[in-house]
Amino acid sequence: MEMIKVRDVKKEFGELGVLKGISFSLHEGEVLSIIGPSGSGKSTLLRCLTQLERIDGGSIEVCDDVMATTDDEGNVRYSDPKTLQTIRLKLGLVFQSFNLFPHMSVLRNIVEAQTHVLKRSKEEATEVARTLLAKMGLGEKEKVYPCHLSGGQQQRVSIARALALNPTVLCFDEPTSALDPELTQEILKVIKELAREKMTMIVVTHEMNFARDISDRVIFMDDGLIVEEGSPQELFVNPKNERTKRFLQRYEQ
Amino acid sequence: MSNLLSLMLQGTYTSLKIFFLTLIFSLPLGLLVAKGRMSKNRFISTTVNVYIMIMRGTPLILQLIFVYFAPYYLFGASYDRFTAVIVGFVINYAAYFAEIYRGGIQSIEVGQYEAAHVLGFSKLHTFTHIVFPQVIKRILPSLGNEVITLIKDTALAQTIGVAELFRVAQNAAARQFSTTPIFIAGVFYFVMNAIVSRSFDHIEKKLDYYH
């Protein structure tokens, strides 16, 4: 089943075209990695999916709900707020810079959206949060405030926070770019574990080995376009496009 | 002497009434003004900006006189002096508080809004539960400064004939041919501000559980 359908999505910042017509789909249980040089539009694409940016053309569908379409005259039409909220909750997002709420304890960071958005009872939300924290290896930390955690621990809390809303798809926007190499490994381990559980995921990353290991499919983006798409084997071992080859060579050095 | 003290306590009571009423109205109003100042609507933001410029750009003493006498000269209407004092103080302090709030609100990282948005929080909930608690912590020192100034500014209420602490002290000084009542008033202000500043220290410590 197709979880996300993206057709010819365009995004401009002023005169600058950041996405110049992106199309792809994501299937249930699939792990899709998006790689490419800085400024290629990877993060912007993720931000369009999670409604942090509005698209300027094309269409996005999430689990049969239409987020936005473009008519023949090029006018983008977003769905009603209720549908958009439904879609928003189906897509979890883990940020590069964690973005935990610093004035809330670890537990409350994970409980807050469950009680206020999903209207779960406090008991139920707390139980969900504790289960997730235990899974993230942070069972002892529920009363702690984010400022007392390492970057890796903060990122694990933010993964738990996203998972608490039972998203259909979990998106990662360079989840390890703000971390030391050793802390990077602990996050990659968590994502690998989620992949093993068949969580549907989109991962924007600069960790090529990681992308090769966990992905079912890899997209290489450059200059606002999908240059090449395929299995990790195809893309990393036998890249067809010159630009892909050059990009990967730079990483091998 | 006991008569003097009881007069001065009455004056202090008036000063404290001005102080608390000003805070009660201007703290929320300031937030509204800050929101207006940051409005995307050009008309609203410009209007609010002009208001803030006038409030910060002219003496409070002049504003008090204007608030009390303008309705009389314009419409022949007069009203209670004490009410005029409160109105004058509230619209003046709301402007200062607004700028403090604005600084605080604008210092909150975009990521906080983005995380709240992705988690499905409404705009109102994002502001009341995510942004505002963090703003309070950040603006507390500047807020403390302003509140201490307010204690001392209450002395300006006498300009339009409200007998607060300083006026009472001046009257007593004139009657007794002695400056002692004025120095006693000074001690009163000092004690009030010591309490204010201790209270702010206390709140700052309470909010010290994160950074």
Residue-wise pLDDT tens digits, A143-199: 999 999 999 999 999 999 999 999 999 999 999 999 998 889 999 999 999 999 999
Distance (Å, rounded) from C-alpha B182 to C-alpha B187?
Answer: 9
Contact A112 B120 (CB under 8 A): no
Query: Residue B210 is nearest to which of A103, A116, A161, comparing CB atoms?
Result: A103
Phi, psi of A172 (to 5 degrees): -120, 125
CA distances from A24 to A222, A230, A242 (A): 15, 11, 21
Spatial CA neighbour of A189 closest among A232, A149, A159, A146: A159
CA distances from A227 to A167, A233, A242, B2, B138 (A): 29, 16, 10, 90, 46
pLDDT per position as a tens digit, B162-193:
999 999 999 999 999 999 999 999 999 999 99
Tell me the CATH number at B169.
1.10.3720.10
DSSP annotation of A92 reads E
Give the contacts of B102 (CB within 8 A, at least 6 positions apart).
B34, B37, B38
- Asked if residue B155 has pLDDT above 90, the reply is yes
- Asked if A44 has any chain B CB less than 8 Å from its own CB, the reply is no
Contact B210 A165 (CB under 8 A): no
ipTM of the complex: 0.94
Question: Do residues B140 and B203 touch, judged by C-beta distance below 8 A?
Answer: yes
> In B, which residues are within 8 Å of A112 by CB distance?
119, 129
**What is the domain extent for residue B146?**
2-210
Residues of B with CB under 8 A from a CB of A: 109, 111-112, 114-115, 117-121, 125, 129-130, 133-134, 137, 209-211
Q: E-strand spans in B30-143?
A: none
The whole-model pTM stands at 0.92
Distance (Å, rounded) from C-alpha B78 to C-alpha B158?
Answer: 17
- Amino acid at position A37, single letter: P
- Asked if A175 has any chain B CB less than 8 Å from its own CB, the reply is no
pLDDT per position as a tens digit, A18-73:
999 999 999 999 999 999 999 899 999 999 999 999 999 999 999 989 999 999 99
In a 3-state reduction of DSSP, which class is residue B86?
helix
pLDDT per position as a tens digit, B24-76:
999 999 999 999 999 999 999 999 999 999 999 999 999 999 999 999 898 88
**Chain A residue with Cα closest to B135:** A103
Question: Do residues A27 and A50 touch, judged by C-beta distance below 8 A?
Answer: no
Number of domains in chain B: 1
Q: E-strand spans in chain B?
A: none
